Amino acid sequence: MTGGSSSDDSGMFDRLDAGEPPRSPEEAEARAPYERLLERVRDLEDIAPPAGWEHRAMTRWSVARRTRRRGAALGAATAAVALAAVILLQLCSAPSAPGLELAVVSGSGVTRRGDAAVGDVLQVRTHAGLPHVELRIYLGTALIARCPGNPACRGDASAMQLDWALADAGMYEIVILSSSAAIPAGDGTHDRDLLDAHTAGVQIETRSLKVAL
């Protein structure tokens, strides 16, 4: 479906949702990854997701739709539908062992409780037993910090720490990725990066932090 319009993508997903067969070999190839994700969702046990998941899913869906690019066969528009399946998989899967520790310290050195403020410092620590581990921080949809790879990172793959100055207000998401194989580099966009990581079988743990002015 390379070079097709966003309406072509929409029609493909409408047919997928309705259970209709693909209209071309190209469409069948493009649909295959999403059909596999949907099959995994159908096979999950019936576990009640945590409160508020609908709002978070719709927010990410809206972000992906706003950032889609014409002419991309698997751009943000197509990623939005697959992302919804990824979110369901993450919510319904058994929780992983704790590996992500967060603390917010004010300018006076006091540890905060609840939301943070501009000027605070976010302290992130992670412990993982797999060979490949990455710590990432996103502001909105954009990647702003990554360990390893940032001079502020300390430790190694089994125990990393990052102290990050919160210079901008907004919604931050802290993500720990761990895998026995190499972790996809991603393109620096939150939803695309997490979709690529999930497709590669990477374990994902996330925390959100609201930072006010």
Kindly report, residue by residue over 154-170, the tens digit of the pLDDT. 887 668 899 999 999 99
Cα distances (angstroms) measured from residue 192 to each of 147, 185, 196: 18, 11, 6
Rg over alpha carbons for the chain, rounded to the nearest Å, is: 19
Q: Is the distance from CB of 164 to CB of 121 less than 8 angstroms?
A: yes
Mean pLDDT of 25-41: 80
What is the tens place of the pLDDT at every residue in 90-146?
A: 544 434 444 788 899 988 888 887 779 999 999 999 887 788 899 999 999 999 999
Its pTM stands at 0.56
pLDDT higher at 74 or 132? 132
pLDDT of residue 9: 65
Q: For residue 170, what are its two tokens?
A: 């907004």
pLDDT of residue 64: 57
